[in-house]
Structure 1
């Protein structure tokens, strides 16, 4: 099987492209089923059967990636499906995507899970997101044994990297960067009122960082009031209905959003009313969602400081020099583990041939034993029967080797001869002949 990956991330594609390629958590399983059916329909020359196509989709604010295992190279079909399903031209997708195969796929997965490919070097959140993606693929039935094994090793590598290197040290998370941005506008966050929109893991992280500054008031707005209330209680914050946000927006000095909404929650009109009501008092808005929760045009309004996930890049890429040694150590670990997984795949590819050889051997043994039993039943000498049994089995095993040496093209005869020597001649201690080379092969 071939392993392949097609994807875009914060390094290869701008935010507007990543927005269009994002998958919601609710729609992920349907997308996986459609993808599998599409890939199966596009197979050519591959016998039918279950497990011929495996797929998983990882979609976060910074990346959308499809991992696939198939009998034929699936990258072209993956690009076509992704572009068509997200209403993006294939040309644009080719321009902004990476298309990896075999060891490139494995290496990329290991690097992503270890935090080496993240906007925040070493950030741990991506590992949980990848585990969620694998769980969705498993629940949908698109994971399969090859991808399943790759992701098991991916998680093990990520654990090894995080436990044996300092890759996560000195990192600035997206949550911490949000606080730093707010502090560039407001000298003292203790005087500020903070609104968080959403109640997921990212908002919980951001609220944790902001709460350490002891702001004057915090509120959490969520589509499901009960879930928002649970998180609000954790931070001593007010719980709000999402529907009340437009009317109360002007009350807050800092607004941080991170939801799974496919449409903006704060439009230009609501933001304009907010600016008027605040009488031009500045407001910091941090939009951590992909697709965006706040319309991009809001950034043009006076006294509004709007930041998207791409705007946080410079802040989260600090301390690179301090982490370089850890990166090199992590890359070395990953490279070793990539080679180990490829060897596993190589060995796995030989299993059908091994089974065929074992079956052929059983058939020959059965046929010769049956012949020997008949001769013994007729009263033939046991010694002669055993001698014939051994001779016939040896001839069967050696027949194809003799035929290959006799009929091979002269240009390849030496290569065949060496192969036969390695396969059939047992090296003796102290041997200096060709057979002895097999000890070093």
Structure 2
């Protein structure tokens, strides 16, 4: 078994690189099946706003990098400088740290665990979750739960949603007179909407592809819903815009925003784009009356309260180190299975051969006591021939090492 993790995250790649290798959840199953056709039959893909990672069982992790580039129609050399390839033990530790919130932009954030569980479920449904990855992720979820229970890693944690509110307050002060627009209807938008609603803005509107899902969020916080198709005519109404969709193309283009600013007579708009790929064209941020922030721009805000979580992070790292060792022991045991099976198969062949000889001797009327004596001698000689022959032909340090190993295996040290 050869475990590898190949990917990029917020520490190795800027958002304009990450958005080029991101996956939509609804397309992950197809992507995994496509990957399996490229020689990697056991794999799971974790794709969030901060990372895209391929966890796989393969002898050649370069295949995963080449596939990632090919799938997204990129040149491998254009993304390779931002990629990391983590083998075996490093891969296990990385998975444990990610699920525990230690590798997140927001130290200790809990949302990543749910995202990882969803990625595993998709891989399982796609048929690409084999023995190794199944065991890895089950252990990962157990470790993440242990870290949450045994430490205060989640205490004082500022989520992306809370960070968006803090930034808005820095610009507008009180939010009571502001009209807020949320674009999308996923988990991130739902969290943001709940955070903003507690500050009682003047109005809350949710724009989504379908009114049904938009209304499901809006009604719970006293807002209303509109369609994405309404945005060109309605955008100018809003002072704050928070967007997070799974669209592969921008929702808000430069032209649409320019028209909105003109209609607003240059009253500023605060925008937070939490999507990867981005929902708002980067050029929008160059407009004088627009305050545009991406997930990467929120980094300084979400670090608030970090000092309070550092001690918990140290405790979490210690837990993870121990659990990584435990997993690696299991992995070594799994690697020994073919050898153990081969050893047992050979012993079984010896047993059957000698048993057949003994049965024939008894059928010929030979003394059963002598037959059993012959059977036991033959089995003993065959089972010990290999190690005895090897020991007789070894010299120097190799002889001493083999002799010591045989004494350990056969428990001869005290004889």
TM-score class normalised by the smaller sequence: over 0.9
Cα deviations across residues 72-127 of structure 1 (Å, max 9, x unaligned)?
2x221111111222233322322111111100111111100100000111111111
Cα offset for 1:250? 1.0
Aligned pairs (5 A) from 1:114-153: 114-153=100-139
Inter-partner Cα distance in structure 1 for 2:143 and 2:178: 42
Matched, 1:337 2:323: yes
Matched, 1:68 2:56: yes
Residue 256 (structure 1) aligns with: 242
Which segment drifts farther, 418-427 or 185-194? 418-427
Cα deviations across residues 152-172 of structure 1 (Å, max 9, x unaligned)?
111111111111100000111
Residue 306 (structure 1) aligns with: 292
Given the alignment, which residue of 394, 405, 409 partners 1:419?
Answer: 405
Secondary structure at the residue paired with 2:248?
coil
Inter-partner Cα distance in structure 2 for 1:26 and 1:417: 59
Cα offset for 1:26? 2.2
Residue 32 (structure 2) aligns with: 32
Inter-partner Cα distance in structure 1 for 2:272 and 2:104: 19
Inter-partner Cα distance in structure 1 for 2:55 and 2:337: 24
User: Given the two structures, how large is their TM-score scaled by the length of structure 2?
Assistant: 0.97
Cα offset for 1:427? 4.2
Residue 83 (structure 1) aligns with: 69
Cα offset for 1:281? 1.5
Secondary structure at the residue paired with 1:134?
helix
Residue 195 (structure 2) aligns with: 209
Cα offset for 1:409? 4.4
Cα deviations across residues 347-401 of structure 1 (Å, max 9, x unaligned)?
1111222222222222222222222222233333333222222211111111111
Secondary structure at the residue paired with 1:346?
helix
Following TM superposition, the consecutive aligned residue runs of length 4 or more in structure 1 with deviations greater than 6 angstroms are none
Cα offset for 1:178? 0.3
Secondary structure at the residue paired with 2:156?
coil
Given the alignment, which residue of 226, 231, 236 partners 2:212?
Answer: 226
Cα offset for 1:426? 3.6
Matched, 1:315 2:301: yes
Residue 59 (structure 1) aligns with: 47
RMSD of the alignment, in Å? 1.4
Secondary structure at the residue paired with 2:37?
helix
Aligned pairs (5 A) from 1:236-255: 236-255=222-241
Inter-partner Cα distance in structure 2 for 1:187 and 1:410: 80
Aligned pairs (5 A) from 1:109-188: 109-188=95-174
Inter-partner Cα distance in structure 1 for 2:255 and 2:356: 90
Inter-partner Cα distance in structure 1 for 2:278 and 2:352: 69
Inter-partner Cα distance in structure 2 for 1:299 and 1:405: 75
Is 2:407–2:413's contact at 8 Å kept on the other side of the alignment? no
Which segment drifts farther, 418-427 or 180-189? 418-427
Inter-partner Cα distance in structure 1 for 2:165 and 2:306: 20
**Stretches of structure 1 lacking an aligned partner (at least 5 in a row):** 41-52, 432-441
Is 2:9–2:18's contact at 8 Å kept on the other side of the alignment? yes
Inter-partner Cα distance in structure 1 for 2:7 and 2:287: 34
Inter-partner Cα distance in structure 2 for 1:192 and 1:224: 25
Inter-partner Cα distance in structure 2 for 1:116 and 1:271: 37
Secondary structure at the residue paired with 2:39?
helix
How many residue pairs were aligned? 415
